[in-house]
Amino acid sequence: MQKKHLFLLLLILGTGFWGISFTFVKVGIGSGSPYVFLFYKFLIAFVVLSTVFFNHLRKISKKTVKIGFLIGIPLLIGNFLQSIGLKYTTVSNSAFITGMDVLLIPILKFAVYKKKVANKIWLACALALIGLYIIVVKDGLSLNYGDLWIVACAFAFAFYVLQVGKYSKETDPAIL
């Protein structure tokens, strides 16, 4: 299989896993604590990834740890906020609002890094925000309590993506 096709397949699989993950998180939390759920989620991820990337562990430096920390904090915050939000909102609202992080990325890129954003991107952001309003705003001008947590989660994930874009050029992504 060509690398191009392999990467496309992996992208599709990743998107599929992302889509079903909302249901698993909702079920995993149930009536329990998001803290306990996230502890086990990250523990399992640590064990699996440490096993898969075992040969890369020797290459970890202080710089890599620092970059991993700078990238990992918004990821942890995003996961935490999403887990809390899923206790109070629907899986579909959570998936849609979290997906809005793609549109928050250019907004934060402009606000934080002062990078120019094309007009068509601003138009896409405006249309997406209108869609967000239509889907999640019910009973007048109020958001569901869980939706507010998920909006904060989307901002954290958008910042995470910006951090990955900024720091992944400085170190081997397999080590991160």
What string of pLDDT tens digits covers the 176 residues of the chain?
787 777 778 778 877 777 777 777 777 777 778 888 889 888 998 899 889 888 887 888 888 889 989 999 999 999 999 989 988 888 888 888 888 888 888 889 888 888 888 898 888 888 887 877 776 666 555 568 898 999 999 999 999 999 988 888 888 777 77
Side-chain half-sphere exposure of 92, counting CA atoms within 13 A: 3
Round to whole Å and give the CA distance between 3 and 19: 24
Residue with tokens 């001008």: 141
For residue 114, the 8-state DSSP code is: -
Distances (CA, A) of 35 to 31, 71, 83: 12, 20, 9
Q: Which residue ranges make up each domain of the chain?
A: 32-53+60-167
Measured distance CA(95)–CA(72) in Å, rounded: 21
pTM above the 0.85 mark?
A: no
> What is the distance between the alpha carbons of residues 28 and 85, in angstroms, rounded to a whole number?
13
Predicted confidence at residue 157, as pLDDT, reads 93
Question: Which residues are CB-neighbours of 89 under 8 A, at least 6 positions away?
Answer: 144, 145, 146, 147, 149, 150
CB 64 within 8 A of CB 176: yes
